[in-house]
């Protein structure tokens, strides 16, 4: 049952990720990615990571993709046109790189994880324990946690400065 749910949600996420790639209209790209991220959130729940599932929905689908939508609205980006591609070799090289990478990557991943014992001690309820996760953040990873807050502040200031209209001297 868990496996079926995971596979269905994963297939949904992958399908809409490919819809994002195939879609020429940027707004539709962003919206299909929202669906994809919701599917991923279901996958995280099935892997007993409910906290990550929630921040996936709130931060990724809620904040980051809405930011993308706002920028698309500001820039009024047109649909991509395919009529006269100035550099067709890019598409050929790109497709070749993707196929080569796909073969190597799936080959490596299919073999990976074999050295993890098949019945590794994993307590489903323990890993879903959000207070225990919070304790990690505020003890072992406290420095990184605080550093991230400074990083986010720097990103906000940087984004503001970059997007500001240049003052005429």
Partner 1 sequence: MIGGVPLFDVLMVSAALFLAGLSGALLRRTAIAIFLAVEVMMNAANLALIGYGAALGTYEGQVLVFFVIAIAAAEAAVGLAVFVSLFRHTETIDVNKINLLKW
Binding positions for partner 1, 140-169, rule CB under 8 A: 141, 144, 148, 151-152, 154-156, 158-163, 165-166
Rounded to the nearest whole angstrom, what is the least distance from the CB of residue 66 to partner 1 in the complex?
A: 10
Query: Taking the CA of residue 51 as centre, how many other CA atoms within 13 Å lie in the half-sphere pointing to its CB?
Result: 10
- Cα-Cα-Cα-Cα torsion 106, 22, 37, 79, nearest 10 degrees, comes to 150
- The structure tokens 């994993």 sit at 122
Rounded to the nearest whole angstrom, what is the least distance from the CB of residue 69 to partner 1 in the complex?
A: 10
Question: How close are the terminal C-alpha atoms of the chain, in Å?
Answer: 66
Please select the residue that binds partner 1; options are 73, 91, 142, 146, rule is CB under 8 A.
91
CB closer to partner 1 out of 133 and 169: 133
50's CB contacts (< 8 A; 6+ apart) are: 44, 128, 130
Residues 57-76 interacting with partner 1 (rule: CB under 8 A): 59-60, 63-64, 67-68, 71-72, 74-75
User: Is residue 38 within the footprint of partner 1 (CB under 8 A)?
Assistant: no
């Amino acid at each position: 049952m868990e496996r079926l749910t995971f596979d269905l949600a994963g297939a949904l996420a992958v399908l809409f990720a490919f819809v994002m790639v195939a879609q020429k209209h940027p707004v539709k790209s962003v919206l299909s990615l929202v669906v994809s991220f919701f599917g991923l959130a279901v996958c995280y729940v099935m892997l007993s990571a409910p906290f990550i599932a929630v921040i996936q929905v709130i931060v990724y689908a809620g904040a980051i993709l809405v930011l993308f939508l706002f920028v698309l609205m500001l820039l009024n980006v047109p649909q991509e046109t395919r009529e006269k591609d100035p550099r067709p070799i890019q598409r050929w090289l790109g497709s070749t790189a993707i196929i080569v990478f796909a073969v190597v990557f799936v080959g490596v991943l299919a073999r990976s994880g074999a050295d993890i014992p098949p019945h590794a001690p994993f307590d489903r309820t323990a890993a879903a324990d959000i207070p225990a996760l919070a304790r990690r953040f505020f003890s072992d990873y406290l420095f990184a946690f605080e550093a991230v807050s400074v990083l986010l502040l720097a990103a906000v200031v940087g984004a503001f400065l970059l997007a500001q209209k240049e003052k005429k001297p």
